[in-house]
Amino acid sequence: MIQVRLHAGSDSHRTARRSGRDLLDALARALRRSRPPLPPAALARLARPSLQRFAELRKKSVPALLDGVVDAWPGRANLELPRLRERFGNRVVTASPTRDSQVVCEARTGIAFQTVPLGDYLDRLERGDWPDTYVHGDGHTWLPELQDEVRPPEYCRNASWQLSRFWLSPPQMSSPLHRHGTENLFFQLIGRKRFYLYAPAATAWLYSNPLRSALPNFSRFDPEQADYTRFPLSRRVQPLEVILEPGDAIYLPSGWWHQVRSLTVSLSVNFFFADGVLAVAQRVTERLKRARRLDAYGLQPRLGAGGSPDVP
């Protein structure tokens, strides 16, 4: 018989009793006989893999670096920062407040969003006056003109559900450790970014937020500033470090944990996509977020359904 023991740590048994997620993690560790997974292996680097090769990666849930995928984008030159300012400097875009160079995330309320003038943000980046916000949002909402220039790669073009997002930030900006229920193709266009990756099998050692929180797929543990007093189990799993250079792309399968830090001024774009059960689950998640006005949905009335407005 398998016995499930809830780890005390400084979070105490009170946290374990309060969170069903902690109980599930304890059960998962017991089923593995408390043996954590090995660190992820170094990622393969593939030059424009065939659809068949990419399908094999998806089937095995194996992340990989992809070379040459953005070379075919007709509008890549339009994604240089001076060109963005020229075309969209009078746009209002979505951004999240940051604290100590990390996006502010609250388990109870989720990720906060606000609107900022894109031209002002780009001016501050150029001056080295680093903003205390991280610009990111649905590209179809606030930069719809780029849809014809930043095209979904062939690997996800026919997915039943997909969403593109743009990411713009000063140096040293980061996101907390988190994972997505969908597949993720991430493209680094300007600057460098560092990824810390954990396989899904490490979940039971990473102290996820409670299931009923606003951010159930975010971790309370920060691998960049590891606090093993509060989160002692996380010492037993180690991340794989991957650095993306301009033009690099990475495929992250569903469920892979990642914490991402911009090492320089950085512009990225990614495509979330899903098919089958994953697509259904994502649509349900979106409806729940809208009902709770989480994520950027609370800003939709201001941004408009068909595009981002100019600055008043």
The answer to whether 195 and 259 are in contact (CB under 8 A) is yes
pLDDT of residue 142: 78
pLDDT of residue 182: 96
H or E element at residue 292:
helix 276-292
pLDDT of residue 232: 97
pLDDT of residue 307: 43
Q: Which domains can be identified in the chain, with CATH numbers?
A: 36-303 (2.60.120.650)
Residue 287 burial (10 A CB sphere; 0-12, 13-18, 19+): exposed
**Selection from 169, 197, 178, 161 nearest residue 111 by Cα:** 178
pLDDT of residue 289: 79
260-270 per-position pLDDT tens digit: 999 999 999 99
pLDDT of residue 146: 83
Q: If you count them, how many residues does the chain have?
A: 312
Using a cut of 0.85, tell me whether the model's pTM lies above it: yes
Residues of the chain with confidence (pLDDT) below 50: 1-16, 298, 301, 304-312
pLDDT of residue 185: 98
